Amino acid sequence: MSKTNPGNFFEDFSIGQVIEHATPRTVTEGDRALYGALYPTRFAVPSSAEFAASVGLTASGKGHPVEELIAFHIAFGKTVPDISLNAVANLGYAECRFHQPVVPGDTLRTKSEVIGLKQNSNGKSGVVYVRSTATNQRGEVALDWCRWVMVHKRDVDAAAPEVVVPELAPVVAPENLVIPDGLDFASYDFGAAGETFRFDDYAVGEKIDHVDGVTLTDPEHMLATRLWQNTAKVHFNTEARPDGNRLIYGGHVISMARALSFNGLANAQLIAAINGGSHVAPAFAGDTIYAWSEVLDKAVISESIGALRLRLVATKGRDESTTLRNAEGKYAAGVLLDLDVWALVPR
């Protein structure tokens, strides 16, 4: 019997099945430093323990939060060996909420529940919907999210399961956002944060070209992807694809776009939710990544805190026209990522 992990195939999943993913992972200050080396991030909360304290995030002895996307990538990476090792495609995300900030010393583990199954008409694959939850060493939820992936069948003759397609919210309702304990932007230091713009300075429909670009390299995305213990072979092995290119982990593009968005959204300090997202096209070493954002919605959270719903778009080559779709309604050439998030900003 082979001892290596073959991953799960479509017929291995059943509604209600709960999978406890392996390799719990302790977050450290080393992760923060590497994240800052890999992405041009400058958001003041993860950059400065003093700033984080000034907005109430280290009250009651808690540590200095790391970027939400560090927690997201680690928690997500844990699901890969069980959920998407035999995936044809990552189809979508929904209802991703960040609960309590993750700090160095926290150990994250992830479990997933199968909440939907739908075999494709070709009989060779199917769509698996899971709700995944990452918890820390005290059992508190750090984040949870849904995603759906298309997975190969091992045996095309295996019977199709009953079709269950979950109803997923197209956007997390503002009242369902989790605001970190203690967060208060009342004495927010705009000078330290880097920009003067607050909640009221952003209008629904406004687009922001983040201007800066970064050309991707293979060593950098491999360092990042390994750091999250995501071991999908296409990211590391030039012999795994006919073209000899390493496919860049979609999360690398998410983090790059988020970091680039500092220029214009420096006060979008915390990501509260990911409403959805599409990896529109693959990215490879040599591509130069730019980003633009669009304000999709706004919501008042408290006296000092507002939430901006932002479309964050990563492109290959700069698109100053910030065009999402072409005349035929398809994604415009160059669009790599179309992400929909809620971010918390000072009012």
Footprint of its own copies on residues 284-343 (CB under 8 A)? 286, 288, 317-318
First to last CA, the chain: 60
Q: How many residues bind its own copies (CB under 8 A)?
A: 77
Give the β-pairing of 288-300 and 214-215: antiparallel
Residues 265 and 263: their CA atoms lie apart, in Å, by 6
In this chain, which of 15, 17, 49, 174 binds its own copies, going by CB under 8 A? 49
Tell me: does residue 7 bind its own copies (CB under 8 A).
no
- Compare residues 118 and 318 and give the one whose CB is closer to its own copies: 318
Stretch that binds its own copies, among 148-156, 177-185, 231-239, 276-284 (CB under 8 A): 231-239
- The amino acid present at 202, given as its one-letter code, is Y
Residues 312 and 208: their CA atoms lie apart, in Å, by 10
Residues 117 and 153: their CA atoms lie apart, in Å, by 12
In this chain, which of 157, 167, 175, 239 binds its own copies, going by CB under 8 A? 239
Tell me which residue has tokens 């408290």.
Answer: 302
Tell me: does residue 238 bind its own copies (CB under 8 A).
yes
- The amino acid present at 169, given as its one-letter code, is A
Residues 256 and 216: their CA atoms lie apart, in Å, by 10
- Compare residues 33 and 169 and give the one whose CB is closer to its own copies: 33
Binding to its own copies (CB under 8 A) within 171-210 occurs at 191-195, 197, 201, 208-210
Cα distances from 203 to residues 199, 200, 298, in angstroms, run 9, 7, 8
- Compare residues 91 and 222 and give the one whose CB is closer to its own copies: 222
For residue 301, the minimal CB distance to its own copies (Å) is 21
- The amino acid present at 96, given as its one-letter code, is C
Given a contact cutoff of 8 angstroms between Cβ atoms, the answer to whether 78 and 229 are in contact is yes
Tell me: does residue 237 bind its own copies (CB under 8 A).
yes
DSSP tag of 244: -
Per-residue string for binding with its own copies, 19-48, x by CB under 8 A?
-x-xxxxx-xxxxxxx-xxxxx-x-x--xx
In this chain, which of 218, 294, 297, 338 binds its own copies, going by CB under 8 A? 218
